[in-house]
């Protein structure tokens, strides 16, 4: 599976973050898929969004189309430069929902969103971690057939992974050039910054200026773990350090070339779904006579 022309990527020995880069990167995981509902390992297999997943994608799209509505997201003004997504259908559908919402907010008919303010760009570097023989299998079957391997994956994923699947190191080898390409494009035609400025919240001059460029990545929980470790220069032994909820929003600001975590796994845009579930639960209790 391919996506994203390699010509858009910097040389392999180029630095990951361009020197002095001032920019913002927003990471969004896809919505719920049919295989998540069925409790199956997905990896790089195709599985569409579930009805709930489509609603989640619509809600995160609306949130990113109006990011400064309360509670404001820590992103610059203006529209994101691009939405870079894994080519898999669950991520592509989530990315399209975001692009359509932004186009609509910008006054562009989503049916003609190609002329909208934000470009869509598939990139195979953001594919989910390949899970080999586990893909499509229920978690209970994997636990029954490969108990030791599954335990190893959960404890030491840098040493133990799915039979026929990808190691985190192999994933990082494709993530790094993809990420470098996104950051290089963000740095085009924008002045370089410096870390010699206020860095502590609450002081004047901290945070992204309104005209700073920003882009959105739409991907998967597993590959985003590697993206975050790569961005922050952390070892793969910290693989389980980061988590991404379904359509969760994570914001990383680049200040003078240094990454700063501004927000992690935000999900307040899903509140209408939680409220709806609470109402349905209350109605069931009422019908049953339970308190």
Neighbours of 110 (CB within 10 A): 15
Structure tokens at 205: 């001059």
211-242 core/surface letters (b: 16 or more CB in 10 A; e: else): ebbbbbbbbbbbbbbbbbbbbeeeebeebeeb
**128 noted as active-site residue:** yes
Side by side, which strands form the sheet with 258-266?
119-122, 82-85, 214-219, 23-29, 249-255, 258-266
Nearest to 270 by CA among 45, 18, 66, 52: 52
Nearest to 158 by CA among 225, 221, 238: 238
User: Which candidate in 32, 82, 85, 128 is catalytic?
Assistant: 128
pLDDT (tens, 9 = 90+) of the chain, 291 residues, equals 334 444 456 555 678 999 999 999 999 999 999 999 999 999 999 999 999 999 999 999 999 999 999 999 999 999 999 999 999 999 999 999 999 999 999 998 777 655 578 999 999 999 999 999 999 999 999 999 999 999 999 999 999 999 999 999 999 999 999 999 999 999 998 989 888 888 888 888 777 888 899 999 999 999 999 999 999 999 999 999 999 999 999 999 999 999 999 999 999 999 999 878 677 766 666 666 665
Is 268 catalytic? The answer is no
Return the H-helix or E-strand segment holding 135.
none
Domain annotation for the chain: domains and CATH numbers: 6-40+50-129+170-288 (3.40.50.1240)
pTM: 0.91
Instruction: Specify whether the CB–CB gap between 249 and 27 falls below 8 A.
Output: yes
């Amino acid at each position: 599976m391919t996506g994203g022309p390699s010509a858009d990527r910097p040389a392999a020995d180029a630095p990951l973050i361009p020197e002095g880069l001032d920019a913002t990167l927003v990471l969004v995981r896809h919505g719920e898929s049919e295989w998540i509902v069925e409790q199956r390992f997905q990896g790089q297999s195709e599985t569409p969004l579930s009805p709930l997943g489509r609603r989640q994608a619509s809600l995160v799209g609306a949130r990113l189309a109006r990011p400064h509505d309360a509670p404001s997201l820590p992103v610059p003004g203006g529209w994101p430069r691009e939405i870079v997504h894994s080519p898999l259908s669950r991520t592509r559908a989530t990315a399209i929902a975001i692009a359509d919402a932004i186009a609509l907010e910008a006054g562009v008919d989503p049916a003609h969103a190609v002329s909208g303010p934000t470009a869509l760009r598939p990139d195979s570097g953001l594919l989910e971690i390949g899970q080999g023989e586990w893909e499509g299998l229920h978690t209970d079957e994997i636990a029954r057939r490969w108990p030791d391997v599954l335990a190893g994956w959960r404890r030491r994923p840098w040493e133990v992974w799915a039979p026929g699947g990808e190691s985190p190191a192999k994933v990082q080898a494709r993530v790094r050039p993809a990420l470098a390409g996104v950051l290089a494009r963000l740095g085009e035609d924008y002045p370089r910054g410096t870390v010699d400025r206020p860095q502590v919240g609450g002081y004047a001059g901290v945070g992204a200026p309104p005209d700073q460029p920003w882009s959105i990545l739409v991907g998967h929980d597993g590959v985003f773990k590697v993206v975050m470790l790569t961005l922050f220069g952390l070892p793969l032994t910290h693989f389980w350090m980061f988590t991404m909820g379904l359509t969760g929003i994570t914001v990383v600001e680049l200040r003078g070339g240094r990454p700063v975590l501004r927000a992690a796994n935000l999900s307040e845009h899903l509140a209408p779904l939680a409220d709806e579930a609470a109402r349905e639960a209350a109605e069931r209790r009422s019908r049953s006579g339970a308190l």
